[in-house]
Amino acid sequence: MRKILVGLSWGWLGIFALLPLMMLFVVSFFHRGVSEFFVPGFTLENYIRLFDPIYFTVFFKSLILAVVTTIFCLLLGYPFAYFMASYGKAARSYLMILVIIPFWTSSLIRTYATMLILRTNGLLNTILLKLGIISQPMEILYTEWAVYIGMVYTLLPFMILPLYSAVEKLDRQYLQAASDLGASPWQTFVKVTLPLTLPGIIAGSMLVFLPAMGLFYIPDILGGAKSLVVGSFIKNQFLAARNWPFGAAISVFLCLLMGAGIWLYFWVKSRVSPEETKA
Amino acid sequence: MMEWIRKAYLSFILLFLYAPILILIAYSFNSGTYSTQWEGFTLDWYRSLAKSSDLLEITFNSFLLAFLAASGATIIGTAAAIALKRYQFLGKKAMQGLLFALLMSPDVVMGIALLVLFVALKMDLGFFTLLLSHITFGIPFVIVTVMGRIASLDENLTQAASDLGASEFQTLHKVILPLLWPAVLSGWLLAFTLSMDDVIISFFVSGPDFEILPLRIYSMVRLGVKPEINALCTILFILTMAIVFTSRKLVGDEE
């Protein structure tokens, strides 16, 4: 039995997960082919090219996009999770489903619908004009704003869910104790609530940050041609530029970068709550 | 006052999350073709959707793929979860590391890695490459879901089964799997949803002879999506709602 289960899982993961990732790593050292996708060999030129300022800017811009998206999700999601946890059991579970349902519908379709809302003659502008808040339609679509709105919109549920489970676990007696001891609501929040919900904040931030680095279709659709992020950059190397070794090198570099980020996360976490990491 | 702020904030965020979906539903009944203005109620898009064998076939493809991929991922993922939890074996730590890497690595990296593999194996891109890829990216999510449940499994039960003379297989079949069933089911559902929703990995490993819905929509988005797609998405959304609420009801009744 043990052999079957282990064999099946290692067999599949070995062939379709480990092998392709290793091949990608190997290809990143290959030469570019003219008629074929890559020519075996060994070169570091693909990695050296990465340090070209043009490519570096792409990485930097993607990083900023991912970081800002994470911050916005956190700022919008925290109050939501906090308020949500303060309701009774039945209301909470309904709110939970309401947060999950959008996640069940195609994110591509929802991005397209966001595009309809943000268009110059779209719903948002129509409403704002009618209400007299603005006198001229705003150009949001195909700007950075649209990309941020789309990213936050798609990734917000990933922030809310772990935050909610952290806030829900919070023992309200601590809050009571803090206020009994004379702490202001703000002090209670900063000194008690925030540290206790930190694992949820970190988990949610990871769940938002990591996909944000790779999602290429949201900037593609909402940002127009202007916003080149690292995801679409890799995609272009494989499909348009046909430079697979370079595309592979960018991917390896991206993975290293994210690996470093994850390592940093565990490092910070072990400093913040040593007991939990050990358990 | 506080109560009012709380309600207003929750409604605001929910409105933000639901506005695009509601817009889409509204447009599916709008008689203007590409216009964003409301031009009157119509069911035309639903009628032409019913006649559009092309779109229906693509939708069917997506469902077929998601069904098979979720089933494959559930079988392998459950096997892996049980193996990881119950046995010691060579390369266990390495497997855990690999799974972690799979969960964390961006989809675009997984997509091109699989593309490199399929090209090296000289496989034609199409249904099989899509299926193999979708099974693979579903596996870690099934494992995580099932592992959570195994952790709460009472060791005494499996111990009792083997004390009473059950073989490993019998213990698995009669004790572990029935207890894991809810987690296996939600793992399947998660894998199914992920497969239906995936754009990025499919983008690299699909071929012209087997089209799926997300990719068709992706290719249409720039030029303007046909209103039939709005109708199709409305139907899928309502279907999703129905499934979510029914499964909740079933789970709720069980509890």
- Measure CB to CB from residue A104 to each of B168, B193, B225 and give the nearest one: B193
Residues from chain A contacting residue B83 (CB–CB below 8 Å): 2, 5-6, 9
Residue A21 is assigned to a structural domain of this protein:
no
Pull the structure tokens for residue B252: 């709720």
Q: Pick from A31-35, A103-107, B18-22, B237-241 the range whose average pLDDT is largest.
A: B18-22
A142: closest CA of chain B, how far (Å): 11
Confidence of residue A119 (pLDDT cuts 50, 70, 90): confident
Is residue A13 predicted with pLDDT exceeding 70? yes
Mean predicted lDDT score pLDDT of chain A = 87
Q: Work out whether the CA dihedral A137, A138, A140, A142 comes out positive or negative.
A: positive
ipTM: 0.86
pLDDT digits (tens, 9 = 90+) for B211-222: 999 898 888 887
**What gap in Å lies between CA A97 and CA A103, rounded to an integer?**
10
Q: What does the DSSP assignment read for B140-205?
A: HHHHHHHHHHHHTS-HHHHHHHHHTT--HHHIIIIIIHHHHHHHHHHHHHHHHHHHHH--HHHHHH
Is residue A146 predicted with pLDDT exceeding 60? yes
Residues from chain B contacting residue A241 (CB–CB below 8 Å): none
Residue A276 is assigned to a structural domain of this protein:
no
**What gap in Å lies between CA B115 and CA A163, rounded to an integer?**
36
pLDDT of residue B130: 97
pLDDT of residue A279: 38
- Torsion, Cα of B77, B147, B254, B70 (10° steps): -20
Residues from chain A contacting residue B18 (CB–CB below 8 Å): 102
Select from A110, A126, A246 the residue whose CB has the most chain B CBs within 10 Å, as the one to mutate to test that interface: A110
Q: Which of B114, B113, B200, B144 is nearest to A107 (CA)?
A: B200
Closest chain B residue to A107, measured at CA: B197
Residue A46 is assigned to a structural domain of this protein:
no
CB within 8 Å of chain A, chain B residues 106-165: 106-110, 112-117, 119-120, 132-133, 135-136, 139
- Measure CB to CB from residue B87 to each of A2, A80, A117 and give the nearest one: A2
Residue A58 is assigned to a structural domain of this protein:
yes
Q: What type of residue is A110?
A: R
pLDDT of residue A225: 64
What structural domains and CATH numbers belong to chain B? 1-42+226-255 (no CATH), 54-224 (1.10.3720.10)
| Domain region containing A194 | 51-269
Q: What type of residue is A242?
A: R
pLDDT of residue A273: 61
Residue A107 is assigned to a structural domain of this protein:
yes
**What gap in Å lies between CA A17 and CA A40, rounded to an integer?**
22
Residue A101 is assigned to a structural domain of this protein:
yes
pLDDT digits (tens, 9 = 90+) for B151-199: 877 788 888 888 888 888 888 888 888 888 888 988 898 899 889 889 9
Task: Decide if B102 contacts B133 (C-beta within 8 A).
Answer: no
pLDDT of residue B142: 93
CB-CB under 8 Å, A76 with B83: no
CATH number of the domain to which A100 belongs: 1.10.3720.10
- Say what percent of chain A tops pLDDT 70: 96
Residue A142 is assigned to a structural domain of this protein:
yes
- Measure CB to CB from residue A16 to each of B9, B24, B132 and give the nearest one: B132
Closest chain A residue to B6, measured at CA: A83
Residue A194 is assigned to a structural domain of this protein:
yes
Is residue B137 predicted with pLDDT exceeding 90? yes
CB-CB under 8 Å, B197 with A107: yes
H/E stretch holding A34: none
Q: What does the DSSP assignment read for B27-53?
A: HTTBSSSS-SS---B--HHHHHHHH-H
Is residue A277 predicted with pLDDT exceeding 60? no
Q: What type of residue is B88?
A: Q
Closest chain A residue to B105, measured at CA: A255
Is residue A188 predicted with pLDDT exceeding 60? yes
How many structural domains does chain A have?
1
Confidence of residue A275 (pLDDT cuts 50, 70, 90): low
